[in-house]
Structure 1
């Protein structure tokens, strides 16, 4: 059974999408049983084109990405999450809903690449994707299925500090 990871950012248009894409990319390439999802508390309804471009340029299939609410992951039909990661400061400060199964929660903050000047925006998205890719690779290499929640929490905090 796959270990599900939910990555949250307020608008679910950039950092959380980059995270979902990179986690699923690494998991697929390395044959790991991890599955990433992304959502937001106030989804914008669209994915930032710079995020899609950065993922596609890294070899990630961008078909099917959409901006969605975290409400999709709360109901009884939703996949059960083992890990919930917030990736933007506004999402970290928000009151998260109750997640069935009491997943391990951690915050890995990234600056908003959308806030970069237009001339630098594509580069900001690529740098953010690279930073996210590094952490998602570290997560993918953990023996998540055999770790206790406490050990997993500690490992995720260490990854967030790197």
Structure 2
């Protein structure tokens, strides 16, 4: 049994925000966390997300998506469940047994980016950078496992 804390990031399609958050947390603190991501209605990983994450050296081209409801049915247990989608969607996410730490970090949906390809990339980069900062500084300070308190909600 691992001593790592288990974290699940959830967004609508598991195609963008949750994929980026999972990637960043695994990169920054994978030695302290087991991290997964899932969606309410999973689709394919957004090609714009693959492109902007590749700019930082993260290859998401082979990533797959999964359903949050399938994880729930499997009886998976998480220490932290973090929704990274719009406020309205947060209420649709299932309540996992044993989870005392449920956080909501709202970010814009990269699928709603508009304009030319370059304009869309800029919008998705902005979202990516916001997610990166939040994962690195979940409490407004540099990430350390000691900063995560049982029952904390941010």
- Return closer, same or farther for 1:101/1:12 CA change in 2, 3 Å cut-off: same
Task: Say which SS state the counterpart of residue 141 (structure 1) adopts.
Answer: coil
Partner of 1:13: 15
2:72 is aligned with 1:74 = yes
Alpha-carbon distance, 1:67 to partner: 1.6
Contact 1:3 1:33 in 2 (8 A): yes
**Distance across 2 between alignment mates of 1:128 and 1:84:** 20
**Distance across 1 between alignment mates of 2:12 and 2:35:** 17
Partner of 1:128: 127
Contact 1:5 1:36 in 2 (8 A): yes
Alpha-carbon distance, 1:21 to partner: 1.2
Q: 1:110 aligns with which of 78, 97, 107?
A: 107
Alpha-carbon distance, 1:143 to partner: 2.4
Q: 1:47 aligns with which of 45, 48, 62?
A: 45
Partner of 1:83: 80
In the alignment, structure 2 segments of 5+ residues that lack a partner are none
TM-score scaled by length of structure 2: 0.83
Contact 1:3 1:82 in 2 (8 A): yes
Count of paired positions? 146
TM-score scaled by length of structure 1: 0.79
In the alignment, structure 1 segments of 5+ residues that lack a partner are 158-162
Flag the structure with higher helix content: 1
Partner of 2:145: 143
